[in-house]
Structure 1
Amino acid sequence: MTEADPIPLSALQHWAYCPRQCGLIHLEQAFADNIHTARGQAVHHMVDTPGYEIKSGVRVERALPLWSDRLGLIGKADLVEFHPDGTVFPVEFKHGAKRQKQHDDIQLAAQAMCLEDMLGRPVPKGAIFHASSHRRREVAITLELRQRVVETAEAIRAMLASGRLPPPVNDARCKECSMKDICQPEAIADHTRQRQQKQKHDLFNPGE
């Protein structure tokens, strides 16, 4: 993947969760599974097969391809509802219980913005479906979220253009990340800390 290619919608979610995770997956083409990714894949099997059905007058499209030439994004929506009154409502499936996660909301907002560009109509809301609790969390596609989508896409393009991996975060996010063994956040953080200590020592003790 290069900076000239359309950015996958999933990359926005990866970057918003952890820029280094995004770099490992989309710059270095590395990936590893753990229990969390396996659960996520199992949830997405429910909506991975393209098709549609009509429920109470609502057309429900599964695995709908999405793109935006304006934003340089490409991907698919797990599910999109087309209501009789013209409302378009994307739904992103996630494993886990109902709770707000900014990285999921950014991915959903990017889907809404792609739908707007494709259909020429506003998509002001969507939802995250949390599989563990079987509950939807409605998300307003605010101006702030839209700006985060644009800024995140620009950050990913800058990373791809530079060819450099972002540094590890080495915080609570790492515990659940399937890329932890590849990333080695503790080892890299220790090396960085040792280098900074040496630089400080050399600064205050020149000539030793």
Structure 2
Amino acid sequence: MLSGIQHMAFCERQWALIHIEQVWSENVRTVEGQHLHERTDDPFADESRKKVRIVRAMPLVSQQLGLRGIADVVEFYQSPNYVAGKTCELEGREGWWRPAPVEYKRGRPKKDDRDAVQLCAQAIALEEMLQISIDEGFLFYGQTKHREPITLDETLRKHTVELALRMHQLIQDGKTPKAQKGRHCSQCSLVEQCQPEWTLHGHSVKAYLARMCSVEVDDS
């Protein structure tokens, strides 16, 4: 799933728990996020404003990344002229249009790029589907009620591709990475299921079973 790339950027173990082991848990952050997405998740909600068409819950697929998902919002801005590689036509609409993905997040802007890579993955999918290139997208944060413009530069694109490749590698291996405990653990909805302290002790199941089997049994 395309949305999983944000989990991967945040923590490989969190991603694997959700997308390999199918573990999920709600906390206040995930519930608030669901409420924020309620309006954007209607695939039939399509509106037009002056020179802007707003499409919600738009299905996306990227062959390059091997990912599929849903864009919260894609805004199409009408262009006065055709611009090679930048504008596209829309069925039932006149003129040329320049698309920009908009991803909704519940909190505040992050210091890392975990939200930006999800937006970038959406842009890459749109580029493949519409045969254009997209220079910029937007992150809307529910806590600040403000949208942040995100430049989709080569550094961000490279990181996005690397994360997607890592996701496929872990799926193929079928292994959940060990925890990398840090401050981010306090923000994770799966901290109870993850139990990062347990995986950091370095004791394997094989070693544990060997110790248990070597214990002499007292039959008296």
Structure 1 and Structure 2 fold alike (TM over 0.5): yes
- The aligned length equals 187
TM-score (norm 2): 0.81
Partner Cα separation in structure 2 for residue 97 and residue 159 of structure 1: 30
Between structure 1 and structure 2, the one with the greater Rg is 2
Deviations 1:68-91 (A, max 9, x none): 123211001000000101221100
Deviations 1:112-164 (A, max 9, x none): 00000000111110010001111000000011111111111110111111111
Match of 1:133 among 144, 155, 159: 144
Partner Cα separation in structure 1 for residue 109 and residue 10 of structure 2: 17
Match of 2:105 among 87, 90, 94: 94
Name 1:26's counterpart in structure 2: 19
Partner Cα separation in structure 1 for residue 30 and residue 197 of structure 2: 22
Deviations 1:46-93 (A, max 9, x none): 211112100122000000000012321100100000010122110000
Partner Cα separation in structure 1 for residue 199 and residue 176 of structure 2: 12
Partner Cα separation in structure 1 for residue 148 and residue 27 of structure 2: 25
Partner Cα separation in structure 1 for residue 132 and residue 7 of structure 2: 28
Q: Could you tell me how far 1:100 is from its partner in structure 2?
A: 4.5
Work out whether residues 107 and 143 of structure 2, in 8 Å CA contact, stay in contact via their aligned partners in 1: yes
Match of 1:76 among 52, 70, 73: 70
Partner Cα separation in structure 2 for residue 102 and residue 38 of structure 1: 22
Q: Could you tell me how far 1:98 is from its partner in structure 2?
A: 3.8
Partner Cα separation in structure 1 for residue 47 and residue 4 of structure 2: 29
Larger CA deviation: 42-51 vs 98-107: 98-107
Answering whether residue 63 of structure 2 is matched by residue 63 of structure 1, we say no
Match of 2:182 among 146, 150, 171: 171
Aligned residues with identical type, % of pairs: 38
User: What secondary structure is seen at the aligned counterpart in 2 of 1:75?
Assistant: strand
Partner Cα separation in structure 2 for residue 98 and residue 176 of structure 1: 14
Greater share of residues in helix:
1
User: What secondary structure is seen at the aligned counterpart in 2 of 1:164?
Assistant: coil
Partner Cα separation in structure 1 for residue 178 and residue 8 of structure 2: 12
Q: Extract structure 1 runs of 4+ deviating beyond 4 A.
A: none
Name 1:116's counterpart in structure 2: 127
TM-score (norm 1): 0.86
Work out whether residues 60 and 122 of structure 2, in 8 Å CA contact, stay in contact via their aligned partners in 1: yes
Name 2:161's counterpart in structure 1: 150
C-alpha RMSD of the superposition: 1.5
Work out whether residues 65 and 165 of structure 2, in 8 Å CA contact, stay in contact via their aligned partners in 1: no
Q: Could you tell me how far 1:99 is from its partner in structure 2?
A: 4.3
Which sections of structure 1, spanning at least 5 residues, go unmatched?
A: 1-7, 196-208
Q: Which amino acid aligns with 2:64?
A: R
Q: Could you tell me how far 1:168 is from its partner in structure 2?
A: 0.5
Partner Cα separation in structure 2 for residue 145 and residue 32 of structure 1: 29
